[in-house]
Homo-oligomer: A and B are copies of this chain.
């Protein structure tokens, strides 16, 4: 795996966590283009608020900290965050408007601003073309690093994408948050690029649910260095597919690392009236506590499907078609045909296990 052209990465321990990397940096040698998808939680982290403000500017760097959500800690939380990125901008010799920031960890604890600021020179000094330190620096309760790499060689050109994500989904949003970072070297006009990212994120990061809890920090960034100009439709099409693949890879890894989960479940909804209904049906099933218990117990209790769909306002007939692969297996595919239209959707989730409860009962 070679980083896409035009980027350097870094990751260090700055003292937020006692052990392990907790501060990461994505650095674009020249100004890059950024697209972002943010949590719609009404109480977002300060990092989300600040990044939303800067997302439409050319981007030089993305700072990420783990171990602290930088959210609802104190009334000058936003000011502290601005101070951090102003300092990083100074060190990099750019404007603070060209910097994004993401955080993940416990809500309500004051981010140790001084520790971070003091470590910025070391973080910058460690920038290089390797990805390992960065991929470690964004993790919290994750049990493995989530990295995916895609490339394509066209006639005269080649491009690549590398992506990082962290979970463990929304399963533990005080300590864990869904974060995704994808960097690539292509240039695509921003309006087209935005459309691609929106669709790729919708079919991946927005198609998973661990426990129905939405974090205050969820963020996906796609940053491009614009080095490889894609100017015909075929090239763009190939890139779009690679982008969708990398997002789906990263999202599935989050589900597989869901805390306490013993099963990976793909819910395929067919026959919905509208696109919205297909998603609502899939999410209703993925978020049904009862159905998730049934998956854990390999219990083919399909009445729970009818009940969960009805709770989401989706009326079905007695002739509804429900199929699933062997419920005893680790990977389960369940197909529900609503029989009322042409729209489909895939949603990915896990079972709900006693271990999940134990982890989240004790964690603080």
Contacts and interface: CB of A to CB of B under 8 A. Distances in A.
Contact of A290 (B108, B174, B362): B174
Looking at A75, A108, A288, which has the most chain B CB atoms within 10 Å of its CB? Answer: A108
Looking at A174, A289, A356, A364, which has the most chain B CB atoms within 10 Å of its CB? Answer: A289
Contact of A173 (B290, B312, B314, B352): B290
Contact of A300 (B288, B310, B315, B364): B364
A44 interface: yes
Interface string A299-321: 11111101111111111101100
Interface residues of A, number: 61
Interface string A63-80: 000000101111101000
A318 B41 contact: no
A213 interface: yes
A316 B44 CA distance: 10
A363 B42 contact: no
* Complex copy number for this chain: 2
Interface in A32-77: 41-44, 69, 71-75, 77
A174 B303 contact: yes
A229 interface: no
A293 interface: yes
B297 A362 contact: yes
Contact of A42 (B69, B309, B356): B309
A52 to B, nearest CB: 15
Interface of A: 41-44, 69, 71-75, 77, 106-108, 172-174, 211-216, 288-290, 293-294, 296-297, 299-304, 306-316, 318-319, 352-354, 356-364
